[in-house]
Amino acid sequence: MTTPLASAMALVLQHGIPIFPDQASSIARRVDLLYYFLTAVALSFSALIFLTVFYFAVKYRQRSPDERPQPIHGSLTLEIIWSVIPLLLTMVMFFWGATLFYEIRTAPGDAATLTVVGKQWMWKIQHPEGQREINQLHVPVGRPVRLVMTSEDVIHSFFIPAFRIKMDVLPGRYTDLWFTATKPGTYHLFCAEYCGTKHSGMRGSVVVLEPADYQAWLTGAPAGETPETAGGRLFRQFNCHTCHEAGPTSRGPSLHEIFGKTVRLRTGETVNVDDGYLRESILLPTAKVVAGYEPVMPTYQGQISEEGVMQLLAYIKSLTREAGGRPQP
């Protein structure tokens, strides 16, 4: 007869004691190595301090009631040793940690960009090919994936323990995250920031597939509109083109070949045209107006969902990509 205890024991015998989740991304092993190092340093210093305490307690115990110890007036050698060794150790931690952090925060240029919208209490994900998922994320093994994320309500946090990545998902702002999955399988996806009653239920799974299986999944899942196409539709639906595509006399700047560039504002400042700036310009159009234009654009706050904004951005980015691909006249 199998009791839960017996099956748990069988699992432990088979896999060992699972202290860590699977190492399923390109950085997982290296994050763990750093973590092991920090733990080893902490443990060895704790051991050293405790052993010394006990050793000195015995060695320097009072041997007779009238014994008076010799006063000590310091030791330069000792002070240098206990300053330099911790300094070196913390510098190792700093540079090791900073290098890893930098790598985790910098997505490779060829990463596929997916959008994630968090809301109480679910994750809505859209692939660049158009497929939508809720609380599920299908990705191929071995290919970098970048997630651009925002929230429709409160702060959430996107956490895939097996990939060792986590990032807050904030209302009114874009945050991003990237990973390369290295091992096919199904992994937990959690919300790691308390976001209301059903926070603990705001979870899902990441399904890592072999490239061929992923292609099959992609073909099988209903694609619907790509973010780009949907964005183009919204662009016309909200009449963006009447001001932004009217030629030299238009009331708004052209959006072709604009993404990733730097533009000058009415105030004389410059701003880099990225996701955050475009989003702000749709929802808060008078905040940073491009030089040579009047602050006449109405806000679209409340008229367009976060997903809609992301689709518009995909469309505006495609205008830059197309321009880049064509020979200049």
Residue 156 in the binding site for ligand CUA (CB under 6 A): yes
Determine the interface stretch with ligand CUA among 17-25, 53-61, 173-181, 190-198 (rule: CB under 6 A).
Answer: 190-198
Q: How far apart are CA 326 and CA 257, in angstroms?
A: 11
Return the amino acid letter for 183.
Answer: K
Cα 281 versus chain centre, distance: 24
| CB 132, CB 125: distance < 8 Å | yes
Q: 172 or 260, CB closer to ligand CUA? A: 172
Rounded to 5 degrees, φ, ψ at 256 are: -80, 140
Largest CA distance in the chain: 100
Q: 137 or 319, CB closer to ligand CUA? A: 137
CB of 195 to ligand CUA, least distance (A): 3
CB of 132 to ligand CUA, least distance (A): 19
Q: How far apart are CA 270 and CA 105, in angstroms?
A: 25
Q: How far apart are CA 23 and CA 29, in angstroms?
A: 6
Tell me if residue 192 falls in helix, strand or coil: coil
Q: 199 or 317, CB closer to ligand CUA? A: 199
Peptide bond into 121 cis (omega under 30): yes
Interface residue with ligand CUA among 104, 162, 195, 310 (CB under 6 A) is 195
**Which residues ranging from 107 to 146 are in contact with ligand CUA (CB under 6 A)?**
118, 121
Determine the interface stretch with ligand CUA among 13-21, 98-106, 192-200, 268-276 (rule: CB under 6 A).
Answer: 192-200
Q: 118 or 227, CB closer to ligand CUA? A: 118
Interface residue with ligand CUA among 199, 244, 279, 317 (CB under 6 A) is 199
CB of 116 to ligand CUA, least distance (A): 12
| CB 243, CB 176: distance < 8 Å | no
Residue 193 in the binding site for ligand CUA (CB under 6 A): yes
CB of 157 to ligand CUA, least distance (A): 7
Rounded to 5 degrees, φ, ψ at 80 are: -65, -45
| CB 156, CB 169: distance < 8 Å | yes
Interface residue with ligand CUA among 24, 28, 107, 202 (CB under 6 A) is 202
Tell me if residue 182 falls in helix, strand or coil: coil
Residue 160 in the binding site for ligand CUA (CB under 6 A): no
**275-283 and 306-325 helices cross at what angle (nearest 10)?**
130
Size of the site for ligand CUA (CB under 6 A): 9
Q: 158 or 259, CB closer to ligand CUA? A: 158
CB of 204 to ligand CUA, least distance (A): 11
